[in-house]
Structure 1
Amino acid sequence: MTLTLPKNVPDQEGLAFVEEKSGWLRKQLDRHPDIETVGLGADLPIEGQTLRVLKGRGKRIIRDNEGIYVPGPENTVAARLQGWLKVQARERLVRASDHYAALLGRNYTRITLRDTRSRWGSCTHQGGLMYSWRLILAPPQVLEYVAAHEVAHLVEMNHSARFWSTVENIFPDYDEPRRWLRENGAALHRFRFETTPHD
């Protein structure tokens, strides 16, 4: 854990803060799963299925029921796998967004992927959809729910009763994936794809 202080705050004041809030800080840390660095031998959820990252052959990443096979030098495995996951996420999110937008008779302007911690998706007033690429790690119904949720904002730019009615019309059983995301979503951020750890 790193403590960052404003420029003019003395170190002693920062340490006193940590001591005073130590109980709260421990609780917060306990809520967050341990960081896992992705590489050969790591277990990684992909579309909700835990797969082992294994050494691949040839040029393409291949996924089967046993694992996900990533070719190339070991120090490139994490970056190659992350790139592949983003492609998979984009394909599924475009397909889901197209589907739900068609059900509503609405169009969106673009889709962007980010690695956001505070939200799984968003919709701009101009009809731009943004999603976290880490949704590819969640069960497929969770990704579908987030796409339906964001597309519903093309009709209602709020979280009113009318908005939730719109979500229910295009994705009737949204309670379970919504609950899954609330209870398990933070754990999807524990996976790190950097080849060298950052402070």
Structure 2
Amino acid sequence: MGVVRIGQTEVVYELRRSAAASERRITVTPGLVEVLALTTDDDAKIDNFLNRKRQWLFNALRELETATAKRAVVPRFMTGSKIPYRGRMARLTVRRHDGPHIDISYQNGFLVDLPSWVREKDQDGVVAAEIKLWLKRRVRRDVIAFARTYQRRFALKPRTIRVADMKTGWGACGPTGSILINWRLVFAPKAVMEYVVAHELAHLSIRSHGAEFWALMATLMPDYARSKNWLDRNQSSLDAEVFTSKQPVDKAT
């Protein structure tokens, strides 16, 4: 644990060192500020980095407070509720039927056919769990499709690619070429999800975020800047409390 003072406020952070990291980074999430340092960094280098990022950290914490107050909340999973999906709020319709299974479909909104054996008092929890599972499966399908496209066009082949519930970040490319994608990207427009997949695939060739990396990104996805800017502006609002209370808000490098 460490402490950085911003005006009269003391911000407690967790320090993590990584041999795989090529640059220092600060990640701000609800209840946690994490500082990623290089294994070669001494205390003076870390303090200097934090001093340079003091204003950024102050702004990120204030933005988090605002976003937490405004982020999407689904109070009830019933007909008329709104579910965040692909950058907008989609209407939910719940119907009862006599079949044995729970069926979910999407066409201009979510339609959940709920068996009559599901008790009324259990409806919210059952529908929430089933929609979350549906969303995760949709993300996996999309991520695999994007990865195959870039592998075919640019010969960028990860060792593995997996969708998971990440505590921090939207994606990661491990030192062995394994890629991890945050399932909550299902709440962003599809092009934003594609950007994150392309971003992590680009790290198979270039590990840092220098000019060479962004030149490669421009080759992979010429309009990547539009999706990157959308994510920078909206990432703090991508979470619905009913699914999770932890949401990455921003990073500084």
TM-score band by shorter chain is: 0.7 to 0.9
Q: Is residue 2:89 matched to residue 1:50? A: yes
TM-score, length basis structure 1: 0.78
| Distance in 2 of aligned mates of 1:28 and 1:144 | 25
Distance 1:110 1:27, change over 3 A: closer
Query: 2:78 matched to 1:36?
Result: no
What's the CA shift string for 1:136-192, capped at 9, x where partnerless? 111111011111111101111111111111111010001111011011111012342
Structure 2 CA distance for aligned equivalents of residues 61 and 168 of structure 1: 37
Shift of 1:127: 1.1
- Residues 46 and 138, structure 1, Cα contact 8 Å, conserved in 2: yes
Query: Which one of the candidate residues 96, 107, 113 is aligned to 1:71?
Result: 113
User: Which residue number in structure 1 is paired with residue 103 of structure 2?
Assistant: 60
Asked if the contact 2:159–2:178 (Cα under 8 Å) also holds between the matched residues in 1, the reply is yes
Count of residues in correspondence between the two structures: 175
Give the alignment's Cα RMSD to 1 decimal.
2.5
The 1:30/1:70 distance shift into structure 2, 3 A limit, reads same
Counterpart of 2:152 (choices 93, 102, 109) is 102
Superposed CA offset, 1:81-115 (max 9, x none): 00000000000011111212332212111122222
Structure-1 residue corresponding to 2:207: 157
Q: Give the counterpart letter for 1:156 in structure 2.
A: I
Deviation for aligned residue 1:45: 2.5
Shift of 1:117: 4.5
**After superposition, where does 1:70-149 map in structure 2 within 5 Å?**
70-72=112-114, 73=118, 74=123, 75-149=125-199
The TM-score with structure 2 as length reference comes to 0.62
**What letter matches 2:223 in structure 1?**
D
Structure 1: 4+ residue segments shifted above 6 A: 24-27
User: Which moves more between the two structures, 106-115 or 137-146?
Assistant: 106-115
Instruction: Measure the CA separation in 2 of the matches of 1:155 and 1:139.
Output: 26
Q: Percent identity?
A: 30
Q: Which has the higher strand share?
A: 2
Q: More helix per residue: 1 or 2? A: 1
